[in-house]
Amino acid sequence: MNATKRIGIVICDRYRTCAGGKCFRALRNREGAFDIYAGMEVEVVGFTTCAGCPGGNIEYLGEEMAKNGAQAIHLATGFLVGYPPCPHIATFKAFLEERYGVEVVVGTHPIPAKYKAMHDKLGSWRGPAWQPLLAPSLASAELRAAYD
């Protein structure tokens, strides 16, 4: 049996009542940003929000997740697809990686097609800084449509 990868998931506080259905579906199916775990066992060791702008819980959730054995922390797709997208993603990623020594992946489930279409129309994701942040969750057009 393969070693278990322990991960934490952080959602944008705008979606604090989200039950995590799309994230857990994507994890179960190894889709979107979770496709990197294909063939691996994964254990979720934490699930929480950033606590709202400017991410007051980021400092504390990293410590808790690290104590619980998190090897990676996923900043949920909601940080990308919200209107506007979270302006703090790069800062959260850099802080968590530096402070807690964990891999930080931006994204969980595939970006739903309707959100991609609207953000493309609005130009929300223009610029080279967005491309590496979006890449793990873009998936195929067919898969994006399945997450609408």
29-78 residue pLDDT tens: 999 999 999 999 999 999 999 999 999 999 999 999 999 999 999 999 99
What is the model's pTM?
A: 0.95
Share of the chain above pLDDT 90, in %: 98
4-146 folds as Rossmann fold (3.40.50)
The pLDDT, as a whole number, for residue 3 is 83
Q: Assess contact for 105 and 79: CB atoms under 8 A.
A: no
Is pLDDT above 90 for 147? yes
Look at residue 1 and tell me whether its pLDDT is greater than 80: no
Average per-residue pLDDT for the chain: 96
Residue 46, strand partner residues: 8
